[in-house]
């Protein structure tokens, strides 16, 4: 499909599958012994000459899938086929660039780049030659003897790329490689990489790029696979028909970004009818400042209570990953709802935007009690106890029947933060205790 639109190496036998993921499933065991299914029935194939994006929200299992494709961990079910063979560990020809750079701080740039070759037993002379060539091509010449701590984030990630490229990989896996960099550095590195790719300067035949950034996916990829959460699976495939170099301001580019935005929000749980909420509903800790800020922006005259999600994300200088939990929390609390990629303020949201501080707190308290069962539960317990106090651990252990330890902690922490703001209850950080007294702060 749309192979003619591909701008990557055209002299390769384009379209031949290089790597295939078949029915991959992956479970982890939760602390209480319950299984957590992170990936379910994942199928995808990487063809020669293409950059494929795997676009999904944080926690959807993207890194887990990439680790499986890299042969670093095993699937619980299904398999990965690379060069007609089932993968059963790291394969020559598959290299990875990590979000965190993952450099050895005690080695120089040159030694970092040589490290992988050394492990393969490449002769010292050849090792040096190949490492210097990789350093050169990725724009690190002159830095061979520097240590990672002496480099900027962008230069460190160049080392990350050089370390992958020196292996002469057929398949390059990238796990959010630009997300730890500032905006300008990230863009420079993306463009430099795309230049090398389109000039055929790299031995790589296909790239699998994991990202949560829609614009990045549309900027770089020939094909985008939308990834769902809980469990992670591929739910849609989108061809990107633009030639490199791409122009982010091109209306067709913008249209595609908006379209993907809408699809991602349409697939998010917020668009589905709410299941009967329980105290074990997982919540994301979002600051009340951000919640109020988003309500205010929506209510502002230029939006008039309704805004396109990508647009409001840009206004607030937020990324998709950051906007979704805020928007979802507003929906959960009844201040807004999400339809087809638009965020729409409810009458309650409008009231909130125009209320003074105390009325906002009262409104928030009412919404917490009526819409967040955990908040109502904590309030109830405190009301009923003669001393009106209860330790956090009591609620945490209840939550752990439903959620993993870290999810339970974040959920309780979210409700604590919101409840304090609403003056529904107080929380003493040192004693880790809830009470009905006013917070001292």
CB closer to ligand ADP, 179 vs 346:
179
CB 74 → ligand ADP: shortest distance, Å?
12
Which one of ligand ADP, Mg ion, none is in contact with 411 (Cβ closer than 5 to 8 A by kind)? none
Which one of Mg ion, ligand ADP, none is in contact with 45 (Cβ closer than 5 to 8 A by kind)? none
Starting at the edge strand that comes first in sequence, how are the strands of the sheet with 35-47 ordered?
A: 35-47, 17-29, 77-82, 85-86
Q: Which tokens in the block code for residue 402?
A: 């439903």
CB 60 → ligand ADP: shortest distance, Å?
4
Among the listed residues 367, 384, 342, 386, the one whose alpha carbon sits nearest the alpha carbon of residue 424 = 367
> What is the SS3 assignment for 363?
helix
CB closer to ligand ADP, 261 vs 434:
261
CB 26 → Mg ion: shortest distance, Å?
13
CB 66 → ligand ADP: shortest distance, Å?
8
CB 42 → ligand ADP: shortest distance, Å?
12
Answer yes or no whether residue 179 interacts with Mg ion by CB under 5 A. no
Which one of Mg ion, ligand ADP, none is in contact with 106 (Cβ closer than 5 to 8 A by kind)? none
Which one of ligand ADP, Mg ion, none is in contact with 60 (Cβ closer than 5 to 8 A by kind)? ligand ADP
> What is the SS3 assignment for 17?
strand
Which one of ligand ADP, Mg ion, none is in contact with 61 (Cβ closer than 5 to 8 A by kind)? ligand ADP
Q: In whole angstroms, what separates CA 439 from the centre of its chain?
A: 35
CB 58 → Mg ion: shortest distance, Å?
7
Number of CB atoms found within 10 A of residue 223's CB: 19
Q: What are phi and psi of 49, to 5 degrees?
A: 85, 15
CB closer to Mg ion, 47 vs 212:
212
CB closer to ligand ADP, 28 vs 106:
28
Let me know: does 52 contact 225? Beta carbons within 8 Å.
yes
Which one of ligand ADP, Mg ion, none is in contact with 355 (Cβ closer than 5 to 8 A by kind)? none
Distance CA 138, CA 158 (A): 6
CB 64 → ligand ADP: shortest distance, Å?
3
CB closer to ligand ADP, 63 vs 185:
63
CB 59 → ligand ADP: shortest distance, Å?
5
Sequence-distant (6+) residues with CB within 8 A of 15 are 3, 47, 48, 49
Among the listed residues 271, 376, 277, 291, the one whose alpha carbon sits nearest the alpha carbon of residue 335 = 291
Distance CA 144, CA 152 (A): 14
Q: What are phi and psi of 95, to 5 degrees?
A: -125, 160
Binding segment (CB under 5 A) for Mg ion, from list 59-67, 104-112, 151-159, 313-321: 59-67
Distance CA 283, CA 403 (A): 10
Among 20, 41, 45, 63, binds Mg ion (CB under 5 A): 63
CB closer to Mg ion, 63 vs 284:
63
Among the listed residues 378, 356, 355, the one whose alpha carbon sits nearest the alpha carbon of residue 368 = 378
**Residue 356 class from Cβ within 10 Å (0-12 exposed, 13-18 middle, 19+ buried)?**
exposed
Binding segment (CB under 5 A) for Mg ion, from list 43-51, 57-65, 69-77, 427-435: 57-65
CB closer to Mg ion, 63 vs 200:
63
CB closer to ligand ADP, 99 vs 331:
99
Contact residues for ligand ADP (CB under 6 A)? 28, 36, 38, 56, 58-64
Q: In whole angstroms, what separates CA 267 from the centre of its chain?
A: 16
Helix (H) or strand (E) holding 24: strand 17-29
Which one of ligand ADP, Mg ion, none is in contact with 9 (Cβ closer than 5 to 8 A by kind)? none
CB closer to ligand ADP, 61 vs 341:
61
Helix segments in 53-152, DSSP class H: 62-69, 109-119, 124-137
CB 212 → Mg ion: shortest distance, Å?
8
Let me know: does 240 contact 224? Beta carbons within 8 Å.
yes
Sequence-distant (6+) residues with CB within 8 A of 339 are 271
CB 40 → ligand ADP: shortest distance, Å?
12
CB closer to ligand ADP, 31 vs 203:
31
Which one of ligand ADP, Mg ion, none is in contact with 38 (Cβ closer than 5 to 8 A by kind)? ligand ADP
Which one of ligand ADP, Mg ion, none is in contact with 255 (Cβ closer than 5 to 8 A by kind)? none
Strand ranges (E), 104-230 = 171-175, 206-211, 223-227
Q: Which residues bind Mg ion (CB under 5 A)?
A: 63
């Amino acid at each position: 499909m749309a192979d003619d639109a591909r701008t990557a190496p055209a002299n390769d036998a384009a379209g031949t599958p290089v790597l295939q993921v078949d029915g991959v499933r992956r479970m982890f065991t939760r602390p209480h012994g319950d299984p957590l299914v992170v990936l379910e029935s994942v199928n995808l194939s990487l063809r020669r000459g293409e950059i494929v994006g795997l676009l999904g929200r944080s926690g959807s299992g993207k890194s887990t899938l990439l680790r499986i494709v890299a042969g670093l961990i095993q699937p619980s079910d299904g398999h990965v086929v690379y060069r007609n063979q089932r993968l059963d560990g790291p394969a020559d020809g598959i290299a990875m660039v990590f979000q965190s750079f993952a450099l050895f701080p005690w080695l120089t740039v040159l030694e970092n780049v040589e490290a992988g070759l050394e492990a393969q037993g490449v002769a010292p002379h050849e090792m040096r030659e190949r490492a210097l060539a990789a350093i050169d091509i990725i724009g690190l010449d002159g830095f061979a003897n520097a240590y990672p701590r002496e480099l900027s984030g962008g230069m460190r990630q160049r080392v990350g790329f050089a370390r992958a490229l020196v292996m002469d990989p057929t398949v390059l896996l990238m796990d959010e490689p630009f997300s730890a960099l500032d905006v300008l550095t990230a863009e420079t590195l993306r463009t430099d990489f795309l230049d090398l790719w389109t000039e055929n300067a790299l031995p790589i035949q296909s790239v699998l790029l994991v990202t949560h950034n829609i614009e990045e996916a549309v900027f770089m990829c020939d094909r985008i696979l939308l990834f769902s959460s809980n469990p992670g699976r591929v739910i849609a495939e989108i061809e990107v028909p633009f030639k490199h170099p791409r122009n982010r301001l091109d209306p067709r580019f913008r249209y595609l970004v908006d379209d993907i935005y809408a699809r991602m929000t349409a697939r998010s749980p917020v668009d589905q009818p709410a299941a009967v909420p329980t105290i074990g509903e997982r919540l994301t800790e979002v600051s009340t400042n951000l919640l109020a800020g988003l309500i205010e922006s929506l209510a502002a005259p230029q939006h008039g209570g309704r805004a396109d999600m990508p647009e409001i994300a840009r206004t607030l200088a937020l990324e998709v990953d950051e906007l979704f939990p805020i928007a979802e929390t507003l929906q959960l609390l009844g201040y807004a709802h999400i339809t087809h990629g638009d965020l729409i303020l409810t009458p309650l949201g409008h009231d909130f935007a125009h209320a003074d501080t105390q009325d906002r707190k009262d409104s928030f308290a009412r919404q917490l009690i009526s819409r967040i069962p955990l908040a109502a539960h904590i309030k109830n317990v405190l009301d009923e106890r003669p001393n009106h106090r209860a330790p956090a651990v009591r609620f945490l252990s209840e939550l752990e029947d439903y959620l993993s330890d870290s999810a339970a902690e974040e959920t309780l922490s979210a409700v604590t933060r919101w409840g304090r703001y609403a003056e529904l209850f107080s929380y003493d950080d040192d004693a880790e205790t809830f009470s009905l007294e006013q917070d001292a702060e």
